[in-house]
Structures are given as C-alpha cells and as structure tokens.
Structure 1
Amino acid sequence: MSAAPDTHTAHTPIARIFAIAAGISVLVALIVMAFSWPAVTAEAKDIPVAVAGPEQAVTAIEEQFATGDSPFELTVVDDRDAAVTAIRTREAAGAIVLGDAPELLTASAAGTSAAVVKQLATPLQAALNAQAAAASAASGQQITAPTLVVTDVVPFAESDAAGLGMNAAFFPLLLGGMAGGIAIAFLVVGSLRRVLAVTVYAVFGGALLTGILQGWFGSIQGDYWANAAAFALSLAAIAAPIVGAVAVMGRAGIAVGPVVMMLFANPISGAALPSSYLPGAWGAVGHWFPPGASAVLVRNLSYFPDADSTFPWLVLAGWTGVGLLLALVGRFRTAGGSEPDAQAAHEDDPVAA
C-alpha cells in the first residue's frame, strides 16, 4: 500500500513577509518623493523677460524690478520686433514694450513661465495709472493713462487652446519607450535583431504618435515628418539604453528604465515645470536625459521653430547610439534575454547552407 502524498505546503516565513512589505513601502515612498519633490521645491525664478521702449521708461522698469524678490530677469532689446524674436527663439518667456502704446507680449505655448509673465499685466497697468495721475497733478490737467495691451505671440493651437494634449503626452511617451525597450530585450533573440526591432518600433511609434497628436487631436503643430522624427528618436533614446543594458547586464538592466528614466530623469525633465524652477542645476541636468530633451524638442518643433533645437537632437541621438552599441557589444558578453549565452553569441551568424 503506497503512502499518501504529502500535501503540506511550506508557508512564507513571517520575517520575510515583513521584509517584503517594508521593501515595497520604501519603493512606493521613493516613487512619491521623486514625483512630488520638483513640485514642492519649485520656485518661480530666472524667468527671462525682454524690455523695449524709451530709455527713461526702461530704466524705471529696471529699477522697479530690482527692488524686492522678483522672479524675472530683464533683458533690454531694441524694439518690439526684437522682443518678438526673443520670444520666438525662446530666449525670453515674454516681453514688455513701453512707450505711447504699451504692450505686454506673452507666449502661452511656452508653458508655466508664460503664465507668470501674463500676471504682470495688473501691476504694469497700475504703474501706468499712477504715472498718469502724477502727471495730471503736476500739470493741472486730466491725463488719461494708456491701456496696456496683452498680446499672445505664440498661442497654443485652437484645437488644444490650453496645451493639455501635448503636455499630457510626455509621460506616456516615457512609459512607451520603457515598455518597448523591455519587450524587445526579452522577446527578440539576437543582438542585430534587437537593433532592428528598436529601429522599426521607433519609426512606427513616432509616425503613429504624430498622427494622433497632430492629425487627430491637433495638439501639436509644425511639419509632420519633423515631429514624427522627434517622437521616433525620443522612443529610441529611451528603449535602446534599456535593450543595451539588458544585453550587457542581464535582467538587472531593466532598472535603467524605471530607475534612470522614470525616477531620476523624468522629475527633472522640465516637462511639467520650467527647468529654471528646479533648485540648483537640476533643471539643466534634466535636459541631458531623454525625457527632458524630448519635451524641449517637441515643444520647439511645434510652436518655436525659430529656436535652436540642436542640443536636444544630439542628446536623443547620443542615448540612442549608446544603447544600440551596448546591444551589439552585449552579443559577446551575455545573452541579455532569455536565450542561453552560447546561443546568443551565434544568433546573428549566417545560416550555413
């Protein structure tokens, strides 16, 4: 008579349960801290504003902004045309044009900084009223203050007047790049095949995202193919480093996505808040990573074509190139995915007849 099988199942030790629960809690805390820290520590500062007009009026504005803790950095330009050029090239978030027809120039497509510049309308009009009152008292005649005109030089598209569609696309773009990189690393066998997969995924993904955001939602503007190239390179710059890291490190390379791209680079990318709002040099550091570079590039191509976009193009191309190079180097180091090392080392070899 055979003995009955032992159906007893070992339970997870209590100590391990506490360790797992504590580890997950710490992970959640790190995620909350990474995403909340920029918003909590953000402070409006170093917002570039151009000023044009008569020398005496410009000097008065400079003296007014020099007193107190002003978040603006004033730059004197020749005239209104120069101020508009400074805004379109993203050298200024707004401009103050003084003279007989005072005007406040803004660019809502620039994001949060432009909204802060727009708040200058009330104090500027109050200053004009005070000057008119002082002139009236001095001359004994009634002098009416000129009305400040607020002009949006670079508005969002009419189909997305608040810019919600474009701003909401940056985080899914990050998640899509991560998901594509992880999937390719483990579902595609062979280093050359992974490089091909990243390329095809980026090209198709870029074309599809541009078709949705520009052709359907109307959230972005500009040349379709330039925008598609920007989205494609953004996806590749996130996916390729993950594929490369998995190729040389094995499964531990997955951490490049959630740790480097999401927890570190995304909070300092400047996609949600202007880079100048972040403490120290973190805003500038964020532009060296794919989330920050893609946010700058997409916004420039869509609404600020006159701005210099060389740097974000180079950043995205650099991350893509390094990732693909690691994927090729990983062929001689480790399998990277689920295949054995010996199989991965010869997966791209020509098939013998």
Structure 2
Amino acid sequence: MALPIAIALAVMAFAWPAGRISPRDVPVGIVGTGPASQHAVEALTRQQPGAFDFRLYPDQQAARSAIRSRDVYGAFAVSGNGITVLKATAASPSVAQLLTDVGQKLADKATQQKAAQHKAAERKAAERKAAERKSGSAHSPAKAHQQAGDGQGAAGADSPVQIVATSVDVVPVATEDPRGAVFSSSVFPLTICGILIGAFVTMARGLARPRHRVLTLLVSCAVAALGVYLVAQGFLGALPHNHVATWAVLTLDLLSVSATAAGVIRLLGPVGLGLSAALMVFVGNAFSGATSAPEMLPEGADRVGQWLPPGAGAGLLRDTTYFDGHAGTGHLTVLALWTVCGLTAVMCGHWVIRESRGTRAGTPASGELLPALPGAGSGPAVRHHAHARRHDGED
C-alpha cells in the first residue's frame, strides 16, 4: 500500500500547483494618478479581486526602473488614446503574457466605453433637435437641411477612436530562448544532479575523511555547474549576461542540494537518500515556480517553494542573469543556509553516528570498554575496541 500512496502523493505534488496557476497579489505598477489610471485599477480589481498588488509611479521612467529592480513584474501606463504595457519577459514569460492580455482587455473595455459615450451623445443631440422642431421653431427648408448636414458632419467628426494597447518589453529574455523554456526546464535536472552528487560523495568508500567529502562536493558542483553553463549558454544561448556570476550561482545551487542530500544521508543512512529526494524533487521542484512565478502558485506553496533550494536557486539565477542581482539577497540567504547546514552535517555527522553506535552497543559515549565478564578473556574485547577505533577513524 505504501508505493501506490507515494505515487499518488508525487503526482499530486506536481499536478496541484500546475492546475491552480492563477495570479495572486502579483506586484504591478500603475503610471499616473489621473482618472484613466484610477478607472483601470477599479476595473482590474473588480474583474480579478486579489490578482494584483498595485503600486503607483509618477511616470514611465520610474516604472521601468522598478521593473529592472524587480519591484514589480510590469506596469500599465493608461492615457486617453491608448494603453502602454511595460513588461519583463525575463522575470516571467507567463506573467508577461498575462499583463499583455490584461492590457488588451483594458483597451477593448475603454473602446467600448468610448463607443457607448458617443452613442449617448448622438442620442441626446437627436432628442434635442426633435424637441426644437416640436417647439415650433421656424426654419426654412434649406436651413433645416443645412443644420442636418452640419449635425451629421459633427457626428462623423466625433466618432470614437480605437484605443490601442502597446506592449514594451523592458527586460526581454535571450533571443535564442524567446519563451524561456531552456531556463525553466533546467531546474529539475539541476535538482536531480545535486542529489546524485551528494549520494555519490557520501557513499563512496574512497572518501574516508569528512574534509575529503566536503572538498569533493565543492569541486564536483563547480565542474558540473561549468558544464551546465557551457550547454545552456554556449550551445543554447539562454544565459547571455553576467557570465562569471551566473556560473557561481549555478555552483551554489548545486552545492545547496548536494550538501543537503549528503548531510541527510550521512545522518540517516540510505533512508536519507529517499527523504532528500522527496523534499527536493516532489516539494522543492514542484513548488519552485520556475515555469511561471511564485505569485502564480496556490497560497502557501509559493512560500514553501522559495524556502527550498530549487525555488531559491531558480529565483537567484533569474535575478543574476537578467537583473544584475536585484532582489537576490533573500534567495542567496536561503541557498547559503541550506549549504552550511548540509556541510555541517557532513563534517560532524560521524560524531553523531559514533555516539549512536556506542549507545546501541551498550558502551559509554566516551568509547571506554565495559568491565570484562568473570572468566572471560580480555583478548577479544581489546581487539573489538581496536577495530571500533579504526572504523571511527575512517569516518
């Protein structure tokens, strides 16, 4: 029964966030505080309550600066003649497409309102003229015909103007990866590779000392990150900026996962491999928001995902590659905490294991031998003690 339940939970972990993707408090800017901007905010709040967290900016330059600083995903600049959608595809292609669609809907709504106002004005003008004719105003036929012609000309001049929505990509993705597919699809392989590195380093018999394991983790993650970067940028062109910093982020991402896996395996044995895989893959990767955005995930999943290495690593990689590290402090802190905790478990795990072995064997934690039983020789006990010391030295 355990295996079917585990499979069902794994499927739910990936399918539930994907099936509930919707904007939730997505930070979005509004340029200006005029009536048009206020009407846009009211319309969006009425249509999608709780979808956006609006922030006001005095002009488009301030809104662009906020987008580059990762304060908002985009902004709407609303005027009487059109709507300009400022977006950042590099921040999230799905959110950028959402903002484009919302801007088009706002433009269509404004066009409909303009048309309704124009029809209302025409109706009022016709009613006024009908009232004037009814009141018995004396006009010659030629003059009446001229006024009718003037009225038609005025109506044609006052015909409603089509409101157009224009999209401007402030921070675009790489031209070789226009949909961000390479970027988003790299999170899962990085997580798997990190777990494999941690498992190999911990279970390899040739790495007897803890410092050897730590050094191997560092070197393996740095080399693997270099290979990932050469493929993602050199072959696919998906990471075009800040090359050295991007490689360092990839290294830290791998190290946080591999060190955590190695530390858990070191403490719990083979069970730790399954536990670390379940945590990083079925929770961390599924809740990372790398394919959409954390604000698009169900409430709670966004926070959990950003506190685990896959989500924090994807966020830091995006911040470093396209936004010069803006808003990356929190993600960097999360990765550093997981790395330090994992490496600490790798370095000090042998003390915990030694204490556990001593307790199970009935020996004091200091490693001293129990008194020999009456009539028993001391040779086997001494040999067992020497063997235990050699085994602890290997750890």
TM-score, length-normalised on structure 2? 0.76
In structure 2, the CA distance between the partners of 1:178 and 1:122, relative to structure 1 (3 Å rule), is same
Decide whether the 8 Å contact of 1:54 with 1:98 is kept in 2.
no
Aligned-partner SS, 1:92: coil
Partner of 1:35: 14
Q: What is the alpha-carbon root mean square deviation over aligned residues?
A: 2.2
Moved more, 162-171 or 37-46: 37-46
- Find the partner of 2:335 among 313, 316, 327: 316
Alignment of 1:184-333 (within 5 A): 184-187=201-204, 188-305=207-324, 307-333=326-352
Do structure 1's residue 106 and structure 2's residue 96 form an aligned pair? no
Q: Give the Cα–Cα distance (whole angstroms) in 1 for the partners of residues 256 and 296 of structure 2.
A: 25
Letter in 2 for 1:122: Q
In structure 2, the CA distance between the partners of 1:343 and 1:236, relative to structure 1 (3 Å rule), is farther
Moved more, 138-147 or 298-307: 138-147
1:35: Cα distance to partner?
1.4
Letter in 1 for 2:72: A
Aligned-partner SS, 2:4: helix
Q: How many residues align?
A: 323
- Find the partner of 2:394 among 336, 347, 350: 347
Per-residue CA deviation, residues 195-224 of structure 1 (Å, 9 max, x unaligned), is 111111111112221121112211112111
Alignment of 1:45-194 (within 5 A): 45-53=24-32, 55-70=34-49, 71-99=51-79, 102-111=83-92, 112-133=94-115, 136=118, 138=121, 140=155, 141-187=158-204, 188-194=207-213
1:147: Cα distance to partner?
2.8
Decide whether the 8 Å contact of 2:27 with 2:54 is kept in 1.
yes
Q: Give the Cα–Cα distance (whole angstroms) in 1 for the partners of residues 111 and 252 of structure 2.
A: 51
Per-residue CA deviation, residues 112-151 of structure 1 (Å, 9 max, x unaligned), is 2222111113212213323543565547423534532111
What is the percent sequence identity of the aligned residues?
A: 28
1:264: Cα distance to partner?
2.1
In structure 2, the CA distance between the partners of 1:49 and 1:202, relative to structure 1 (3 Å rule), is same
Aligned-partner SS, 1:42: coil
Q: Give the Cα–Cα distance (whole angstroms) in 2 for the partners of residues 308 and 344 of structure 1.
A: 47
Aligned-partner SS, 1:160: coil
Structure 2, unmatched stretches of 5+, are 122-153, 355-386
Q: Which has the larger radius of gyration?
A: 2
Decide whether the 8 Å contact of 1:51 with 1:58 is kept in 2.
yes
Aligned-partner SS, 2:269: helix
Q: Give the Cα–Cα distance (whole angstroms) in 1 for the partners of residues 180 and 45 of structure 2.
A: 32
Decide whether the 8 Å contact of 1:198 with 1:239 is kept in 2.
yes
Partner of 2:364: none
